[in-house]
Structure 1
Amino acid sequence: MTRLRRLLPLLVCTLLGGALLVLFSPGGLLRGNEPPPRPAGRSPEVYIDLGQEHLRRHPDDAATWASLGHAYLEQARGSGDTAYHGKAQGAFERSLRLSPGGIDAVIGMGALANARHDFAAGLRWGERARAAAPYRWPLYGVLTDAYLELGDYERAEASLRRMLDGRPDLASFTRVARMEHLHGHDDRARHALERAREIAASSTEYAFCLWQLGELAWSSGDARGAVAAYDRALTAEPRHAPSLAGRARALAALGRTAEALRDYAAAVARAPSYVVEYGELLEHLGDRAGARRQYAVFAAQEKLLAAGGAGDDLAVGRFEADHGDPAAAVRRLRAEWKRRQSVEVADALGWALHRAGRHAEAAGYAARAARLGGRNALFAYHRGEIERALGHPDAARAHLADALSINPHFSPGGATRARAALAESAHPA
């Protein structure tokens, strides 16, 4: 199984698509360079149960350990529960001890590294898989994700083309959708996601595609269309945390506040990565104590992840810029920029610099965040506020207006501040 990152707490959480790439099937274990089978209609939980039962009887079956690791990764992606990452690592490592050249486990380690935001390691594992088995197409998903997050968009597109040439499936179509969205081609992104949805082989994959369609609708300001897509995803997978959080966000934009709070509470119960979003809505509604509780959960969660070597400097930097210490945000995000020069990190670092009072330097990163041509309301808002701080009213108005035209509800507080700034510029004191 592989996984694309949100845009992702964001994806993530970034951000991000993927599919079951290696599935357990009793009597049908993978060998050599054979492509993995794709039995239809089963959820990751079923494969986990089957794999565990098989391994109780055959503990030295390296291929099934690898398949189990991929099932854990798929479960983590669908549920938002990163505890499955540790289980996936254990399964892949066991597989590699039993069969050091096992390509499915190598690909799995790359997908796991990407899921943990260690994209340099994901790239290394992907390259190792390519050297050993260049026609095992899922490895190009690992490479595409790693290159994309490292900011090497040319190599990401080349890897994706290779993946599409070899295996035009759900995993490749969802990656095409993300790439097209980054370039501002949302109609093409929607078409790719619809193709992926049509070939989804399980309720988990189907829900994932519909969630992505919801995210695409939301990013373009279509809150009602987003709710409809999230509703369909949750019909397929009622506990799908990303769709619960997405629907909460869209319901809040439509003024359905009680339902939004209900969905956020359900989402964070399954995936704490959404606590900052939840807190920001509570803060916007005047519940500062409730917001502080959610922010405290985020801080505790990140402390635990950092202690385990899985901290997320991008997520922490964004949080510190808006709700903590902007200088600490700059330090975190400079470190992240050294590791990966993606548009997401450029935007976050530019915003942190602005919040720390370093507006001229911030403007350069804000410009870099826009370089792929995609239409991102939050990026445009950040750029508008930076230009306003620099004393460039015309540029500020243009970017703030652009943010609201892309998505008038892009964030509870940000959209309100953008409107206030535009009103102030129209009627200066």
Structure 2
Amino acid sequence: AAARAAAVYWDRGWREDAAAQLTDAAQRATEPAERAAYLAQYGRIAWERGDFAEALRYDEAALRLDGGQREALAGRARTLASLGRTAEARAAYGTALAGRPDPELLLELGELYEAAGDEERAAAQYELVRARVRQQAAAGVDGELVLGRLEADHGDAAEAVERLREEWRRQPGIAVADALGWALHRDGRDEEALTFATTATDSAKGGGVRKALYAYHRGAIELALDRPGVARRHLELALRTNPAFSPLWAPAAQEALSDLGDPPLTEAPADVRLQAAPVPPPTGPPPPAAAPPAPPQ
């Protein structure tokens, strides 16, 4: 029940509530594997909000309880990459992928290689993503979302749009809206791209999950549409949420902000340039000082 509640809070963007649910559940868990699963989920939340030291601490605690905890293995690899410990991250991805090559992790490892300039190994990982998605499809597992993301950034953007449009028709959701919007942008269709990016990030339109990658995608699309003000806001939000959310796209977000430069200084409208009303001097005796907090028991 706690995991389900945490998932609901997570999907609604209530990260602190999700973290509280998982922390309480981990403390109540009686089996090591159950406790490890909760700790790994908390580690993912810590990573999403850019707290890499805490994320690593929780993932490693989970692995001490259950050395095969797959989410913790993946989280540890992801966090090491965010910390710039690239060689350790590559080894950790290898451990996480051993025996069960997950397409999402294969894509992450490929982008880690690409960010380091190792195009050959990156391309090999991307081919493994395609092969693994085909294998899973034969077993009835839907991998169109990750395949669409792969094609948008590292393959055929037009094909990505087709795949993700079909995925949107089958099961519309925030992750698909983000991926489809980004694929449209990569295919040069920025006006339509923005409608999906807005769906993924705007709570009024059903989105609002605070995820750095989604904010970056929206900011990059707005920048392509020559909307520097809102683009700057979303690029800053991406890096404020998680300054190392991707080995490829976090540096791209930082570069885009640097190119934008400082926001222009604009004079406030006359109707908001109001003088504060004078504060009358206090009368009567001063209020009593607040009592100090009680010492811990």
User: The TM-score by the shorter chain falls in which range?
Assistant: 0.7 to 0.9
Aligned to 2:60: 231
Q: Is the 8 A contact 2:43 2:75 kept in 1?
A: yes
* Aligned equivalent of 1:412, options 209, 223, 247: 247
Encode CA deviations 1:169-208: one digit per residue, 9 max, x unaligned. Answer: xxx2112112212223222111100122123242221111
Q: How is 1:18-417 mapped onto 2 (pairs within 5 angstroms)?
A: 172-273=1-102, 274-370=105-201, 371=203, 372-417=207-252
**Aligned partners of 1:206, 1:309: CA distance in 2, in Å?**
30
**Aligned partners of 2:256, 2:177: CA distance in 1, in Å?**
23
3-state SS of the aligned residue for 1:272?
Answer: coil
**Aligned partners of 2:172, 2:186: CA distance in 1, in Å?**
20
The one-letter amino acid of 1:225's match is E
Q: Is the 8 A contact 1:231 1:247 kept in 2?
A: yes
**Aligned partners of 2:255, 2:187: CA distance in 1, in Å?**
22
The one-letter amino acid of 1:383's match is R
Structure 1 residue 427: deviation in Å? 7.4
**Aligned partners of 1:180, 1:326: CA distance in 2, in Å?**
33
Encode CA deviations 1:259-315: one digit per residue, 9 max, x unaligned. Answer: 111101111113311111111111111221111221111111112222343341111
The one-letter amino acid of 2:44's match is E
**Aligned partners of 2:237, 2:98: CA distance in 1, in Å?**
35
**Aligned partners of 1:215, 1:230: CA distance in 2, in Å?**
8
The one-letter amino acid of 2:20's match is H
**Aligned partners of 1:194, 1:384: CA distance in 2, in Å?**
33
**Aligned partners of 1:336, 1:179: CA distance in 2, in Å?**
22
Q: Is the 8 A contact 2:200 2:208 kept in 1?
A: no
TM-score by length of 1: 0.58
**Identical pairs, percent:** 46
Compared with structure 1, are the counterparts of its residues 365 and 195 closer, same or farther at alpha carbon in structure 2 (3 Å cutoff)? same
The one-letter amino acid of 1:405's match is R
Q: Is the 8 A contact 2:41 2:71 kept in 1?
A: no
Unaligned runs of 5+ in 1: 1-171
The one-letter amino acid of 2:55's match is A
Encode CA deviations 1:349-382: one digit per residue, 9 max, x unaligned. Answer: 1111111111000101111112343211000000
TM-score by length of 2: 0.83
Q: Is the 8 A contact 1:276 1:294 kept in 2?
A: yes
Q: Is the 8 A contact 1:303 1:311 kept in 2?
A: no
Q: Is the 8 A contact 2:158 2:187 kept in 1?
A: yes
**Aligned partners of 1:328, 1:426: CA distance in 2, in Å?**
35
RMSD: 1.5
**Aligned partners of 1:295, 1:340: CA distance in 2, in Å?**
25
**Aligned partners of 2:64, 2:200: CA distance in 1, in Å?**
36
Encode CA deviations 1:51-70: one digit per residue, 9 max, x unaligned. Answer: xxxxxxxxxxxxxxxxxxxx
Unaligned runs of 5+ in 2: 264-297
Q: Is the 8 A contact 1:387 1:396 kept in 2?
A: yes
Structure possessing the higher radius of gyration over alpha carbons: 2
After TM superposition, which residue ranges in structure 1, 4 or more long, deviate above 3 angstroms? Answer: none
3-state SS of the aligned residue for 2:24?
Answer: helix
Structure 1 residue 241: deviation in Å? 2.4
